[in-house]
Structures are given as C-alpha cells and as structure tokens.
Amino acid sequence: MATILRKIAEQVLSRTAFSNLAMDRARDAAVDTIGCMIAGRGDESVAALTRAFDGEIVGGGEARLVTGGSVSPSLAALINATAAHALDFDDNFHPARAHASAVLVPALLAVLASGKATSGRRFLEAYLAGLEAQAAVGFGVNPSHYNRGWHATATVGSIGAAAGVARLLGADENGLVAAMSLATSFACGPKGQFGTTAKPLHAGIAARNAVDAARMALAGMSGRPDILERPQGFLDLFGGDDAKGWEGLTFDEEHIIESRGVVTKRHPCCASTHRAIDALLDLKQEHGLLAGDIARIETKVGISAVRNLAYPDPADEMQARFSMQYCLATAFLKGALSLSDFTRQKIG
C-alpha cells in the first residue's frame, strides 16, 4: 500500500499539463510574492538576519538576496522568505492554512543557481507542484493542527515546498518522497510567536528547510516514506485531537489553484482581522458613520483567530498587525489600511 508521501509524489509528477488559468494564477502569485519580498526587505526581521549572517553575504554566492549580495541557496531562501512574510501582506492558501507562496517562491528562486538555466514555465510548474503538495499534507491535519497552535506556514509549508523544490531540481519519485520526509523532521513553528519577528522568520525557516531537504534527498539522504501517518509521525504528534488523516485524500483533475486558489491580501495585517475590517468599512459607507457615532465595536471570530489576535494594546508594528482593536480603529478612521499604518513611528 502506497504511503501518503508516495501518493503525493506520484500526483505531482504525473501532472505534466496545466491549464492557462492555473499558470496565470501561479504567475500572479509569484509576482505578488516578489513584490512582498521587495517591500519587506527593510523590515527589522530581515535586518537582523543580514546582521547575523553578514560574513556569509558576499558577491560570489549562488543565490541572490533581495537585500543585495549573494549567498548559498539555503541562506537565500531563509532571508528572502522572511522578507516575503515580514509585512504580513503576502497571500494565504486556505487548504494548507499557510502562507504558501511566501515559502514556495523564495525557495524555488534560491535553487535557480547560476549556470543552470530554466524556463519560467518550469518554475511555475514547480510552484504548482509545491502548492498541491502543501494542500495534500494540510488535508490530513488541518484545521486541528492549526487550531492546536502550529503555524502551518512553517510546518505544512516546509513539507509541501520541499516537493516543489525537488521537482524543480529534477528529482524522481523517490527523491520527492525523501525530500518531503526529511522536511517533516525539520517542521516546527508555534503560533505563540505571532506579533514578533519570529513570525516572518517561520516562512524563512520553512523555505530554507525545503531547499535543504530537497538537496539532501538528491544527495542520497532519506527518511521514512510513511512519516506522515505512522505512529510517532507527523499526524500523531502534530495533528491534534480532531485531525482526520488522509483516508479521504483525492486529487481532482483541475489543479487546486483553480478550485480554491490563493488569496491575495487587501490589508497588510493578519488575515484574522480582514472580514471584520471589510464589514466595518461597508457599514461606514452604507450608513455614513462618523467616529462620534461609535460607542464600541464588537466582533465575533473563531477560536484560532482569537488566539492569533493577542495584542489589544499593541506596543509596536509587529503586534499591531495582530491587534483587532488597532486594525479596526485605524481602518475606520482612515477608510483603509496601508503599509504606512504599520510602522514603529505610527504605533509609538
């Protein structure tokens, strides 16, 4: 009986044709993520990483950094993916409960080493492979995994992205299985870090893990192919009490980016605030509300959103992105939210 990782590997390798819609959405996701990388390159989380690894940022590395210079693929994935997620403006992917593109795009870019030319189409096909793998891994453990407190960007994202990187590097089925198995051993990231610079670092760690796992797999390293479902495996340890496992896992003819898509953000803050922000702005416009008309605002959200939004009185821009109070008040007063609303000067 095929293991779950083998089923995922078989699926992503067998899908050799993609619709125009799938390719267009993958291209848009890549462009959006690169924009987020550029916008986030000056964030303190990225600055801290460049200081930490200053001696390794040189001119002759294999992979380019969004901040300038070049480094190893592993370090490029770490820093560029952290930049992509630094402002919390990157897309969401609901099937994985993850910021899928912030992990996938920098990881794939990092292994495009000089002298190894590839086509844009092949890059996007690897992105789609990694996205489908993330969805499949997430199918068995979410939402229980996410509600338990795991940041799926760092866990599910790491495992699924390893499949995309391995595909881009030309791995066969066994190589993809090994890459995802190894990435499972790397996977970690508690949501208790939300509101700190460790949160965007989770995307960086996941991208680095994907790159390292894929390269190790191609060099002959391997892990158990049943590590997702076996005792003391991913589901057992990370799934939570309500995780259903992969018994009902199927793959549709159309790619999941066609049926579910990735969600580009309208507001540069935690997605747990977005529906409330949109509802408030709609009410403001519909009824012509002014600040003096508001006595209080009450919101109703799910338990995972309550836990995500842990900062009623934020002290800095990181905390403000995870504050329903700040986001709603600022959106109402200004009529919209922008990156300029999440700066240390603005919060201070």
pLDDT at 115: 54
pLDDT at 92: 97
Phi, psi of 64 (to 5 degrees): -85, 145
Q: What CA–CA distance (Å, rounded) separates 181 from 109? A: 22
pLDDT at 116: 66
Q: What CA–CA distance (Å, rounded) separates 343 from 44? A: 11
CA-nearest of 139, 309, 162 to 222 is 162
pLDDT at 241: 86
- The model's pLDDT over 296-315, given as tens digits with 9 standing for 90+, comes to 999 999 999 999 999 999 99
Supply the pTM of this predicted model: 0.95
pLDDT at 347: 86
All structural domains of the chain with their residue ranges: 4-259, 271-347
> Looking at domain 4-259, which of 1.10.240.10, 1.10.4100.10, 2.60.200.20, 3.30.70.3270 is its CATH number?
1.10.4100.10
DSSP string, 249-292: ----SS-HHHHT--B--SSSS-GGGHHHHHHHHHHHHHHT--GG
Residues in the chain, pLDDT under 70: 114-117, 348
pLDDT at 114: 52
